[in-house]
Amino acid sequence: MTNTVMVNDRSLASYIDHTILKPDAQRVEVERLCDEAIRFKFASVCVNPYWVPLVAQKLKGSGVLTCCVVGFPLGATFSECKAQETLACIQNGADEVDMVINVGALKDGDLDLVRDDIALVKKACAGKTLKVIIETCLLTDAQKETACRLSVEAGADFVKTSTGFGKAGATVADIALMRQTVGPLVGVKASGGVRSQADALAMIEAGASRVGASLSVTIIGA
């Protein structure tokens, strides 16, 4: 029996991308996440590309989406590589792609490169959802705003705080800033360090429309 909190007429579970991105994840763990996602009706299961075919097969017909990361966790690779990785993920069943921007290029002020990088991945998504990870812990507030603006200009569906592999994760202040920057029509995903129901609810109250978490079952109070 779950004790699922309701948030704006949606269950808390429906906000959550049930996530396993550790490099030593094994099949039994990924399958367990899929089973939990189906049982508790999480928004998606988020995995590294290798696991996309398995997750897509496990989730087929369940209403739970298959989500994967691209250019992860550094973002410092060729745009063409990110696009090819995205295409392979979509062809293998991914419904959503969470890509990492080129953080160094952003900090260097090479804004055209950052925008074009996102746009190329968006094109490869072929209509599927694109979330753009800006790695907030490495940026000033002004740089966060710029990253969000470039993401929107390039056609992103969401902006996302963190990979979970940086020096810090999501904060309420960052979510509020990102929501203010992108407006009401673009999603905002809080990811990294969301470990409790209180954390998740605070992120949603600040403007998050999706939350990435590995402790999802604990968060919903199941």
| Residue 167 bears catalytic tag | no
Structure token pair of residue 7 = 């948030």
Catalytic residue among 122, 131, 189, 199: 189
| Residue 98 bears catalytic tag | yes
Catalytic residue among 58, 122, 160, 199: 160
Other beta carbons within 10 Å of 2: 14
Catalytic residue among 98, 117, 157, 199: 98
| Residue 160 bears catalytic tag | yes
Q: What are the catalytic residues?
A: 98, 160, 189
